Structure 1
Amino acid sequence: MSIAYIVIGVIILFILLSSFVTVQQGTIGVTTIFGKYNRILFPGLNFKIPLVEKVFKRISIQNRSVELEFQAITVDQANVYFKAMLLYSVWNQDEETIKNVAFKFVDERSFMQALVRTIEGSIRGFVATKRQSEVLGLRRDITEHVKEQIDQTLEAWGFHLQDLQMNDITFDDAIMKSMAQVVASNNLKAAAENEGQALLITKTKAAEADGNAIKIAAEAERQAAQLRGMGVALFREEVAKGMTMAAKEMQQANLDTSVILFSMWTEAIKHFAENSKGNVIFLDGSSEGMDHTMQQMMAMNKLMEKKN
């Protein structure tokens, strides 16, 4: 009799223990009764009908990632190799969403296969309309195209595509080498153009500097010539004033003014002899020549007297 009580007690204890189930944080439990969907269980300790209600599946609502590697062919028959990282998660925690996630696919493997093949097919269809020279510059467009194509499909499955990153896009070795040569030649062309522009700028600046130097030198020479002319004019003016004063003094003393002219003529010859670079001075030493020179100087003196 005691053994029967023990057995009954064990059964009751087992039933009580099986009436409670723990759901971990980040997951949601799905229960069934006789194989039919019943309800969802949220994280924490939950009560379930013992022996009848079973936990069919525990679904993670955390973000999940998967790496993809596949090949596509462009419209000009170039092989493109992709390496991508896919980030996805359950769309939300609504009951209908959780039901789709739990019952759309037989198991997790089937879902992953469908997801990967859908994304690969979308990318291959997009790449098939582009040339190989365009693919590298369309990384962002490819990602946007995939999101537009499969968002509705994933939503019907209860999932949401959060991000798709194209980590690497490569071609066959021959294409990669030819692309590298094109880039190198373009870089050389750009460098040559930049060097030519720099040389042109340097030459232009040098020509401008030379032109400015010539202008400055010409302006300086003009000012110097003007100053020299002013100096000569002042000198002549002072000489004329001195000659006039000397002539007036000699006239008041009843002396011949031609003596002044003769003195100036001899002083001029002395100046030529002292400051010229030559060794010989040619002068007309005849009495006629002397008389002619004196007449010219006296005539000049009279002209200056009239002006004064």
Structure 2
Amino acid sequence: MSEVGGVSEVSSAHFTYSTNSTTYHFNNLLPSLSTDSVLYAESVFCYKPIDLMNFLLLLLGLAIVLIFLSVVIVQQGTVAVITVFGKYARVLRPGLNFKIPFIEVIYRRISIQNRSVELAFQAITADQANVNFKAMLVYSVLNQEEETVKNVAFKFIDEASFMQALIRTIEGSIRSFVATKRQSEILALRSEIIEHVKSQLDTLLESWGYHLTDLQLNDIAFDEVIMRSMAQVVASSNLKAAAENEGQALLITKTKAAEAEGNAIQISAEAEKKASQLRGQGVALFREEVAKGMAESAKVMNEAKLDASLILFSIWTEAIKHFAENGQGNIIFLDGSTDGMDKTMKQLLAVQTLNSSIESSGIITPPPISGKR
């Protein structure tokens, strides 16, 4: 319990202060001690003592605040740079870390994950054609080593300054490469442009503590006038190629058709030749058989002592019958009398005799001109 007391006696030479358990005596005070001085002395000694429990609670609260201020949690994929009175001190890794409150300060948190940014800019070729580029850049911190993190934290005043330097450097590198090439060459040099930029930026970015992971040229476009002219050139080339292909196709078709026709003619000629041979053999065989039949008939007729003209008459009537049955609407003028038969038979016998004499002598003569029907 707190003790409350008061001044019990005040004089110029003696001052007494009493509490519940203690009495304080002050002797030999100066004779000139005034009443105001006595009241001041009473105010000094009449205080309320601080409770011990409250003091302990205060100390506990201060300890909790200090512990809270000293704990630092760093997220995965991130590191924190610590400075002491503005000077670099150390790097905090992902997880639970501690720092000295009010002395160590987190200067900057740096992400070590991949980051991307899109670029859009224009370049001019050697033949003064405007080329519009759209690109995507992927970059990251080179590694988690202390020196690398220190470069990332202190090389640039802020992230915006670094991005501005990076973008302008890439644009300048691409523009310097495009300026040495013609407009017609640019579309075929996409990979060469990327390799040129990477070769120039790798060393520079490493000195900044970064690494260029990927650079993609998503779109390369020209002015509208150039695009129209390029489309016309492509269309003309396509038409020319189509005409050449069509001509080649037609040539191949004609060649194949001619070859096929020649083969067909050759096959037809060979077939006709073979057919003619077969027809000739058939006619010769037919004649041979007819001759044998007629010889047999004549022999039989002679043995029977009959006139051989009956054989000719039979052949004549058979021929007339055959003409009538197989005429197929054709008109055949034929003398059907006995004299006509005799005259026709004599002519046939004369032709047969002439052909036999020619075959036996081996002389080739043109076929006789047939008479009128």
Identity %: 60
Match of 2:279 among 195, 206, 228: 228
- 1:219 counterpart residue number: 270
- C-alpha distance in 1, partners of 2:348/2:204? 125
Structure 2 CA distance for partners of 1:23 and 1:223, relative to 1, 3 Å: same
Match of 1:34 among 82, 85, 95: 85
The one-letter amino acid paired with 2:291 is A
What does 1:15-34 align with in structure 2 at a 5 Å threshold? 15-34=66-85
What does 1:158-307 align with in structure 2 at a 5 Å threshold? 158-249=209-300, 253=303, 255=305, 259-260=307-308, 262-271=309-318, 273-274=320-321, 275=323, 277-281=331-335
CA-CA distance at 1:227 after TM superposition: 1.9
- C-alpha distance in 2, partners of 1:293/1:61? 121
Match of 1:81 among 128, 132, 135: 132
Q: Which moved more, 1:2-11 or 1:21-30?
A: 2-11
- C-alpha distance in 1, partners of 2:229/2:249? 30
Match of 1:105 among 140, 156, 159: 156
CA-CA distance at 1:188 after TM superposition: 1.6
- C-alpha distance in 2, partners of 1:285/1:79? 109
1:38-70: CA deviation from partner (whole Å, max 9, x where unpaired)? 211111110112222211110001111111111
CA-CA distance at 1:216 after TM superposition: 3.1
Contact persistence 1:25–1:44 (CA under 8 A): yes
- C-alpha distance in 1, partners of 2:171/2:299? 121
1:102-157: CA deviation from partner (whole Å, max 9, x where unpaired)? 11111111110110011111101110110011111111211121111111111111
- C-alpha distance in 1, partners of 2:223/2:249? 39
The one-letter amino acid paired with 1:153 is L
Higher-RCO chain (CA-CA 8 Å, sequence separation at least 6): 1
1:10-34: CA deviation from partner (whole Å, max 9, x where unpaired)? 4433222221111112111111122
CA-CA distance at 1:294 after TM superposition: 11
- C-alpha distance in 1, partners of 2:88/2:114? 25
2:162 corresponds to 1:114: no
Contact persistence 1:26–1:61 (CA under 8 A): yes
The one-letter amino acid paired with 2:333 is N
Structure 2 CA distance for partners of 1:18 and 1:279, relative to 1, 3 Å: same
CA-CA distance at 1:101 after TM superposition: 0.9
- 1:129 counterpart residue number: 180
Give ranges in structure 2 of 5+ residues lacking alignment.
1-49, 358-373
- C-alpha distance in 2, partners of 1:22/1:223? 105
2:111 corresponds to 1:60: yes
Contact persistence 2:297–2:311 (CA under 8 A): no
- C-alpha distance in 1, partners of 2:348/2:243? 78
Structure 2 CA distance for partners of 1:295 and 1:138, relative to 1, 3 Å: closer
- C-alpha distance in 1, partners of 2:241/2:198? 38
2:119 corresponds to 1:72: no
CA-CA distance at 1:281 after TM superposition: 4.4
Give ranges in structure 1 of 5+ residues lacking alignment.
304-308
- C-alpha distance in 2, partners of 1:129/1:75? 5
1:247-274: CA deviation from partner (whole Å, max 9, x where unpaired)? 55566x4848xx43x3444344445544
- The alignment covers a number of residue pairs equal to 296
Contact persistence 1:62–1:89 (CA under 8 A): yes
Q: TM-score, normalization: structure 2?
A: 0.70
- 2:147 counterpart residue number: 96
Contact persistence 2:112–2:140 (CA under 8 A): yes
Q: TM-score, normalization: structure 1?
A: 0.83
Structure showing the higher helix proportion among its residues: 1
CA-CA distance at 1:98 after TM superposition: 1.0
User: SS where residue 253 of structure 2 aligns?
Assistant: helix
